[in-house]
Structure 1
Amino acid sequence: MNQIEFVNTIKPFKDKVFRLAKRLLVSTEEAEDATQEVLVKLWNKNDVLEKFGSLEAYAMTITKNYCLDQLKSKRASNLQIVHNNYAEKDAGLQQKVEDNDSWHWVERWINDLPEQQKLIIQMRDIEQYEFAEIAEILDMNETAIRVALSRARKTIREKMTNTHNYGIG
């Protein structure tokens, strides 16, 4: 596969690699570095890439592993998760402030989740991966993924209820 074919092959999922890296590493610069590292690793395996059933799943697995390694290293010890993809266009200022505040709380709660649940929330609820794809990337069965996702969502829902007094009479 030549360079142009390689770029065209990875183009559809390159942004997903970056978003997963950003979710795990927080820093845009760290996520860009991680994305570059993943692409270099893929390029170095250029001659065998066609053997993979899902190149995207393979790239996401490499991304996950690279980012978790970075999180374990000393240079990544000060990173935190930030997610700024939500904004309602027609909302008034007060609504935007409240939405922003809610997202900051959700970001904190996601950050507090165990690594596996954090990855599953990112891949399922943010990146919209199917359960089968997540199972392949994380090397887990789909039932375990559904259970972990349910627990993660329940934790976030409980924290939201306790923090914002939603639904408490």
Structure 2
Amino acid sequence: MMSEKEFTDIAAELRVAAVRSAAAAGIGVEGAEDVAQDIMLRLWTLRDNISSARHARGLAVVAARNRALDMLRQSHTVSLTTGVTVVQSSSAADVAIEADETDAWLQRRLQALPPMQHQVLRLRQIELKDNAEIAAILGIKLASVATLLSKARRQLLADIRKRNQRT
């Protein structure tokens, strides 16, 4: 259980992590700020269930990324050759099903990566560690971190391209 004082002591750090995570998902600065505000309110209500500062940071990062991705999915736009933009609307159920299928597919692809590549990618993308921190945590060379990260990203990109060609 996290007390009010403990939460307020780390609130600024949590907000920065939430903004960074939302911005990394591809929404604008204003959108990232909105997401961070929503996440901070949600974390405040859940503070009795949060066990540590690390737990709170993890929740903030993941929740912000997920909320940002939801916002992006809800506002897909398609440009026409005339320059007019049409907003596609889908039912919430369709969007939810598609999001679940995509998430399940991505989780399978991540699990298919070699364990070290998966771990390096998770530390970099989810826990927002820099390459030097990852090298120290895993006890490998800095150059190895960059290589493993590159290989993992290339593999996922190739898998995404294959999947998109099928649909």
Smaller-chain TM-score bracket: 0.3 to 0.5
Greater relative contact order (CA < 8 Å, ≥ 6 in sequence): 1
Q: TM-score, normalization: structure 2? A: 0.47
Q: TM-score, normalization: structure 1? A: 0.47
